[in-house]
Amino acid sequence: MKRSKMRVSEALPREKLLSGGVERLTNEELLAVMLGSGVAGKDVRKLAHEIARIIETDFPDITLEKLCAVHGMGTVKASQIVAALTLSRRLLVPDPRTVSSARNVYDLMRVHALKKQEHFWLLTLDGASKIIRLKTLFIGTLTQSIVHPREVFAEAIADRAAAIIVVHNHPSGSLVPSEADKNVTRRLAEAGQLLGIELKDHLIISSRGYYSFSEEGLV
């Protein structure tokens, strides 16, 4: 038996999206499209209605646990919604402390470029590349013995970081990496791969600007 044609206003949310465009959908209908289907005893529109009420009243603090508390919401569907909401927040409201480039890091750290003694800084980052913490780890000439992966990644693990960026200054003004700089970078990158914490970049900063190991294809 063929299903009779439905008017756009009566169509299922996905059909309404295809025929009328995404802007015509309500929040509940958008959620219904994301959910795809309901569960026994609760169709997708009712489920979407309950989820919409939670999101509209508690959007900044929405969590996987809050969504899973709704009858019919499994972890897969709840995860999809939380991921979509998090992505939209990141794209629409960029955090001023989000690292997007080596230049971005240099602009943050350039105030330290003129220090007379060599310093080594660690930036720990979350999954959105937002800075969790900036810490001075070492003061003194950079060597493999002073900058040990154990100390660097102990801080990253404590911060539950997804990635790190390290920065050090050259009081001489030179932006040419030394062999020690290269060796430290290589060891940190290798340790990060083992631990699942990415070394996103190593910057050398000075009065003349910056040098990025990432931009040079060395990490």
Instruction: Report the distance separating Cα 166 and Cα 109, nearest Å.
Output: 11
Instruction: Report the distance separating Cα 182 and Cα 179, nearest Å.
Output: 5
**pLDDT tens for residues 25-55?**
788 888 888 888 777 777 888 888 888 888 8
Rg over CA atoms, the chain:
25
Check residue 3 and give its pLDDT.
46
**3 C-beta neighbours (distance < 10 Å), count:** 5
Q: Distance of alpha carbon 48 from its chain centroid, rounded?
A: 27
Smallest CA-to-CA distance from 203 within 67, 125, 68, 102 is with 102
Check residue 34 and give its pLDDT.
85
CB distance 134 to 168 below 8 Å: no
Query: For residue 13, is pLDDT > 60?
Result: yes
Which is more confidently placed, 166 or 146? 166
Query: For residue 73, is pLDDT > 80?
Result: yes
Check residue 116 and give its pLDDT.
87
Instruction: Report the distance separating Cα 199 and Cα 153, nearest Å.
Output: 10
State both tokens at 98.
């989000």
pLDDT above 90 covers what percent of the chain?
43
Task: Tell me the pLDDT of the chain averaged across its residues.
Answer: 85
Least reliable range by pLDDT among 56-60, 104-108, 170-174: 56-60
Smallest CA-to-CA distance from 120 within 141, 144, 150, 99 is with 141
**pLDDT tens for residues 102-123?**
999 998 898 889 888 899 999 9
**pLDDT tens for residues 176-197?**
999 999 999 999 999 999 999 9
Check residue 6 and give its pLDDT.
39
CB distance 135 to 121 below 8 Å: yes
Check residue 9 and give its pLDDT.
31
| Residue 133 bridge partners (DSSP) | 124
